[in-house]
Structure 1
């Protein structure tokens, strides 16, 4: 991971909202059966005991365009992520998170699949994303989405996003699919901020 910029930014306040397929589409994709069941192409599978939803999120490897031309492999990693309590504050029924980092993977998608959190947990983790503006995050147009325990996120190639923000009282494990070639600045770029405020219900 390479820090490409440090920014002392003006405060931006972003209200987090529950994720939808349509709202997240410009940032990547979802693996969220309840949200995609009505619209995704599907077929019957496993002798009729399953419904297969097809091509619900992208998997992309663009490392052939990287300056080093070093090939990447598809890797499954595990992130054991703890709640960032030092960046969370609670007052007047509102939880506020201070986001200080946005990062991107310039040549690959990255998918986070939560493991061990119930579908009934409505606030399992927070996803923070921003559009690109001339090679840097357009932090003034940052958006934040609340994910349930059975919803997975895929960041599109080059999508600026915050490190995973786990909500609740304990850690959450994620299985993470990403392409990597081991060249630090090609695998991940990071911008550090003085802080942006994300408000949750």
Structure 2
């Protein structure tokens, strides 16, 4: 089994796969009588032949080290994951290599970071490792083939330097 070390997620390292969304990346707008900072337009939703929908996902917590044996991608729309608790989660991604996943990368994200996976980006399933496992998900809703799965011939064991 191959091994992969998850590193702390940064906007620059994650850029080939989508967007990291977090407070502090843009100048906020002060609203609600000065009691709230609004950080506006932090993600680009790329949707084809459907609408943007908001769903809630309740995922089972995963143990570390984590064995990743399934990657998926969504050819018709981006997919944004927003943790709804004091969470830590793995984000496993891979570039496309002729219709199959290329070499994977793994990132460790915390409750203060949301990720917006670019359309057609191969990624692991939702893998929370701490918190409640509850996520808000913004993605494409509609008819059509928007899910491709790939069972990995050789699973990857994901570890982390931090938890």
Give TM-score scaled by structure 2 length. 0.88
Indicate if the aligned counterparts of 1:81 and 1:166 stay in contact, CA closer than 8 A: yes
Query: CA–CA distance in 1 between the matches of 2:83 and 2:46?
Result: 20
Corresponding position: 1:150 with 2:112: yes
Corresponding position: 1:195 with 2:155: yes
Unaligned stretches of 5+ in structure 1?
1-10, 64-71, 89-94
Query: CA–CA distance in 2 between the matches of 1:107 and 1:187?
Result: 5
Query: CA–CA distance in 2 between the matches of 1:73 and 1:62?
Result: 8
Aligned with residue 134 of structure 1, among 89, 98, 105:
98
Q: CA deviation at 1:174?
A: 0.7
Query: CA–CA distance in 1 between the matches of 2:129 and 2:123?
Result: 17
Post-superposition, which runs of at least 4 consecutive aligned residues in structure 1 deviate over 6 A? Answer: none
| 2:133 aligned partner | 172
Aligned with residue 106 of structure 1, among 52, 72, 75:
75
Max Rg structure: 1
Give TM-score scaled by structure 1 length. 0.72
Aligned with residue 51 of structure 1, among 28, 37, 42:
37
Q: Judging by fraction of residues, say which structure has more helix.
A: 1
Query: What secondary structure, in the 3-state scheme, does the structure 2 residue paired with 1:154 have?
Result: strand
